[in-house]
Structure 1
Amino acid sequence: MQVKTFIGPSTQSVLAQVKAELGPSAIILSSRDFQKDGQRQYEVTAGIDRPITSGGNNSNNLNGESPPQGWDEWFRDWTKVKEHLYALMQPSIQWERLSSRQRTALEYLQREEVDDAVIMELYHRLSSVPGSSPFEALSEIVPIRPWSAESWPERIQGITGPFGAGKTTSALRMALLLRKTDPSIRIGFINADCERANSRLVLKHWAELSEFGYFEASDPESMEKVIEQNEDKDYLFIDFPGISNPKETLTMQLSALGLSSMEFVVHLALPPHYATLQNQAFLSKYQSQHLSSIVWTKLDEAATYGSIVNVAMATGLPISALSYGIGLSDTLSSAYESVLWKLVFKHQLPGQV
């Protein structure tokens, strides 16, 4: 673990230093304020789990590089130590520095299984600006880029995710939402998940039923050919297969399909059911320079929504869409702050009154 102490004139400026140098995954180990030359100074000691690469800070820590040998075992051990550290730090939180509204919000997020590291980050942000809104603090660490043609103009849109995460259904819903906004839009689907018959049949059936073009490509040659043949499409969705090989990553998968140098974006479909360690494993596996957003799926099946905040803090990736319910019609919403916070704090699905 790399540990460094930062000093500045305000907590906010110090935390900005931490994020800039160590990234959003940095862990706040301690903080204090003191007087120096008659001026108040703030000191924060922070650490980062993964060694920083010589290439500098990556804003989302998902640059596609493989972890060093022995990382998995070291990370498990450090995670246990970190849990004990946060258990010791929690009683030292000066709740009286927060307003009633701020404290209620943090206590609620704890019940929603938001990680202690995120709670500590929010605490420092809120306590440094008395009376500030919890939603403003959350918005600073949970970026949003709503799904729409205006926000996502890239012609090629990939979707990936663990098996059973609902990525194929979400991709179809995303395409239908685009068409609902603009009925004249031309959309095609490329199935790169050709080995699983069930997924293949589902995508083919619904793509053709929705009058989307349907194509298959499982190697660089067929992928290049299909993309060239569909230059008339406004959008091409690529449905990537889930990754089952422990040594494989999304970066490797894209390279095997001849897509590494192409300009496109990939959305990661994730349900909020997974615990922190499982999410960390997924994020490591699906890291790529093309990964651009999180699509939260199966929201109607979840008991808590803390993972939404945890993953945003860990990756810096924006949330683009929220997927829920049965069927394809009106079961995906673009991510907006008002919709997201009603989901997290009220368990109110998009569209519910």
Structure 2
Amino acid sequence: MTVAVAALELHDISHAYDNNLAVAGASLHVDEGEVVCLLGPSGCGKSTILRIAAGLEPLQQGEVRMGGVTVAGGGLIPVPPERRGVGLVFQDFALFPHLNVAGNIAFGLSDLAPRERPHRVAEVLAQVDMSDFAEAYPHALSGGQQQRIALARALAPRPRILLLDEPFSGLDARLREQIREDTLRVLKQSGAATLMVTHDPDEAMFMADRIYLMKGGRVVQSGSPDALYRRPVDPFVARFFTAVNEFAGVVTAGRVATPLGVLPAPGFRDGMRVLVLVRPEAIHLVPAGTGSEPVVAGTLTQARFLGGVHWLEVSLRGADGAGVTVKVHHAGRDVPEAGGRVLLTLDPRDALIFATTSAGDAEAARGSDEISVLSNS
């Protein structure tokens, strides 16, 4: 049986700048045709990993393999960047201002016979819908057009691996949505393995087949966007993707009391202090007399219309009797006026529960005993 070899594999990568550890024992892989996102806050080490993979940063510890072949580490002389066969797209696009679009794309085609280069340039320009701009210069292009040309230039040599460093961060929000849709289409058509760095969780969830979420130089969790969103391993992961409502509690008889009702806490010992996280979109407004799940009453204190949803703040009575404000994303058309009474419901499967230390920080689980998705079971 043939074992599939990853297009790109980084194993136990560590890297320091002076005495500052930027990456600490990170490992990841990207398969052919797969889009993988390195996600995390600024300074977490994700761009350093990308630069190490490209050969732009010297490897200090670990190993980099491409197509099963070691290109850095393992006691070998590292393969230089120009011989790694990777395509690069940087945050600032790095187009040559003195070359027109065709010249920029042809620059990396030195291995192609001169008579074949115009055909390849025309091919990738068509791929990114920029065929009419071959003679234009970078300064005459919009940000979105420059991004397309940078992608075309990276794709032109037909690399097996594409490395993208925050490629959409310089674009305005509406243009960014359109360009990333077009980019994902082109990446999938190319069949190249793609590793993309981003700090934007929405962008990572849209683009990625798999996500590696980093914090402090380490990979905290990896998996599909759905897995990281629905089954986060700790509160940091849950908080990174959306705002959350947070409630502290103590497990009693396998349940925990929250302002949204008493919820089941399977896998947690009685007496354990826990942190319950609930995303605003998991809480629903219900008409009086309806809803199969527990319903709690509150007072609407603020409402803002955001287009697709209403952003609400609702005042509830906490489990200890104190007032608590919860945030709700309501997709319905009708919203009561501020000061009105509302009924809220929560499916317990949409709440996340984590054991906490005495200091209140979520601690890592052993198996599923201390980190669990709440369920009705």
Query: Do these two structures clear the TM 0.5 threshold for a shared fold by scoring above it?
Result: no
The one of the two structures with greater contact order (alpha-carbon pairs below 8 A, sep at least 6) is: 1
The structure number with the bigger radius of gyration is 2
TM-score, length-normalised on structure 2?
Answer: 0.27
Whose helix proportion is higher, 1 or 2?
1
TM-score, length-normalised on structure 1?
Answer: 0.28
Whose strand proportion is higher, 1 or 2?
2
